[in-house]
Amino acid sequence: MIYVEGWDGNEAISLSVNDAEVYITGYRKDEFGWLIGYKDGKRIRPAGILELGVGSIERKSAWPILSKMKTKENKEFVFVEPALRCKVKFREWTKVGLMRLPVFDEFVL
């Protein structure tokens, strides 16, 4: 339960939601999660792990592309060329510059 000081439960609480276009830069090996990043000039900066809102259709559609674009891997992740893009919604930026609770919206073609 979340306690909001001065809120009596009869009013709606407004939460801000941001939109962004991100690149899929990798994926987890053990459980589902896409590594995402955003373009900052000529670089792709890490933005977090996308776990929410991605259905089985989207996973199946992305797999043939991601599996052919591997660049390197480590114990936890496989990294890919950042060519596949999608739109996400997220709450806010964390102090370390990652997206808080990114949710998949759609692929960008």
* pLDDT, tens digit, 9 for 90 and up, residues 62-101: 999 999 999 999 999 999 999 999 999 999 999 999 999 9
- Residue 4's pLDDT band, with cuts at 50, 70 and 90, is low
- Domains in the chain (CATH in brackets) are 18-108 (2.40.50.140)
As given in the structure block, the two tokens for residue 43 are 């670089």
Global pTM value: 0.85
Give every CB contact of residue 80 below 8 A, 6+ residues apart in sequence.
Answer: 24, 25, 26, 27, 66, 69, 70, 71
CB 54 within 8 A of CB 32: yes
* pLDDT, tens digit, 9 for 90 and up, residues 7-55: 666 666 667 789 999 999 999 999 999 999 999 999 999 999 999 999 9
Residue 25's nearest CA partner among 62, 61, 58, 75 is 62
